[in-house]
């Protein structure tokens, strides 16, 4: 039996096998090896309306169904689907995609910025995430941070450099509690080297390590938490940034 610790979240189980093992519950499908998970729903919907996507699966949960599509990028098959907001739900979607047979992933989403000079739309490449969420503690021993996959970081950077895309390489703060981002917590995370805050990176990195699949994440600067008051900056209406990022993610994913 597991040793009881003061806090349940620290009771890490080294046993790799789950009672609910995804590979025993979910049958593999004919899914492309490369899969882009995006949080930009309107971009996926537009591609679907334009007839660019083929539905290959549906990930059902109690409250909503996430479509999994396949598309072609420069003559190659790539899967395209949506993330589910929050570490726990995103990790479940990710597990199911792995069980289907996908092996290489790029995630693209937005994040709050903790540094004033990161404009809306600026690209951030997270190299590690501060584990201020719960999900990753079920996959990896407790630690402050989880690193992103080094190969994925290299491939993403090569593409940014080749395409002349400016980017910031830094840590991100993954939180479960969007409405408990306090001044002092923001200052602490900045002192630890974080430039963004979001809700999924630590979970994606932890599951990827545990399942031995390749995953890289690309964020773009959204709302601003670096000033006196929170500034929405209309970040989620940046149509072009979001469309370009999904296409760029497909291009990079096929190079992983
Ligand atoms: O645009 P996305 O990637 O969803 O980013 C951020 O916005 C959501 C919170 O509103 C969380 O998912 C967080 O990570
Ligand atoms: O998690 C998040 C995402 C965007 N903006 C925030 O302040 N927090």
pTM of this prediction? 0.97
Residue of the CA atom closest to atom 12 of ligand 1: 85
| Segment 191-215, tens digit of pLDDT | 999 999 999 999 999 999 999 999 9
Q: Which of 86, 129, 181, 203 to mutate to test the pocket of ligand 2 (most atoms within 8 A of CB)?
A: 181
Are residues 25 and 60 in contact, defined by beta-carbon separation less than 8 angstroms? no
Q: What percent of the chain has pLDDT over 70?
A: 100
Rounded to whole angstroms, the maximal C-alpha distance in the chain is 54
Cβ-based burial of 2 (10 A; exposed 0-12, middle 13-18, buried ≥19): exposed
Q: Model ipTM?
A: 0.93
Give distance in angstroms: CA of 197 to centre of ligand 2: 5
Which has more confidence, 23 or 239? 23
Asked whether residue 89 carries a pLDDT value surpassing 90, the answer given is: yes
Are residues 105 and 36 in contact, defined by beta-carbon separation less than 8 angstroms? yes
- Three-class DSSP category at 114: coil
Length of the chain: 256
Can you give the residue ranges of every domain in the chain?
A: 28-253
Q: Which pLDDT score is estimated for 132? A: 98
CATH architecture, range 28-253: 3-Layer(aba) Sandwich (3.40)
Residue 34 binned pLDDT confidence (cut-offs 50, 70, 90)? very high
Q: Which pLDDT score is estimated for 240? A: 83
């Amino acid at each position: 039996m597991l040793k009881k610790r003061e806090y349940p979240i620290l009771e890490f189980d080294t046993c790799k096998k789950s009672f609910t093992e995804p590979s025993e519950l979910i049958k593999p499908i004919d899914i492309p090896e490369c899969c882009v998970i995006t949080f930009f729903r309107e971009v996926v919907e537009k591609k679907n309306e334009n007839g660019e996507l083929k539905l290959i699966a549906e990930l059902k949960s109690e409250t909503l169904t996430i479509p999994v599509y396949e598309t072609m990028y420069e003559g190659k098959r790539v899967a395209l689907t949506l993330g589910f907001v929050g570490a726990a739900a995103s990790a479940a979607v990710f597990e199911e995609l792995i069980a289907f047979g996908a092996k290489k992933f790029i995630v693209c989403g937005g994040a709050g910025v903790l540094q004033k000079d990161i404009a809306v739309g600026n690209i951030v490449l997270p190299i590690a995430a501060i584990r201020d969420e719960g999900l990753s503690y079920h996959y990896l021993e407790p630690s402050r941070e989880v690193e992103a996959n080094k190969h994925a970081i290299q491939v993403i950077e090569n593409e940014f450099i080749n395409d002349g895309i400016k980017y910031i390489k830094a840590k991100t703060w993954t939180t479960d509690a969007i409405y408990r981002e306090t001044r002092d917590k923001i200052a602490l995370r900045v002192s630890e080297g974080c430039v963004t805050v979001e809700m999924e990176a630590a979970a994606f990195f932890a599951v990827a390590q545990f399942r031995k699949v390749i995953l890289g994440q690309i964020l773009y600067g959204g709302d601003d938490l670096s000033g006196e008051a929170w500034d929405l900056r209309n970040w989620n209406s940046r149509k072009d940034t979001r469309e370009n990022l999904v296409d760029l993610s497909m291009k990079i994913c096929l190079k992983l």
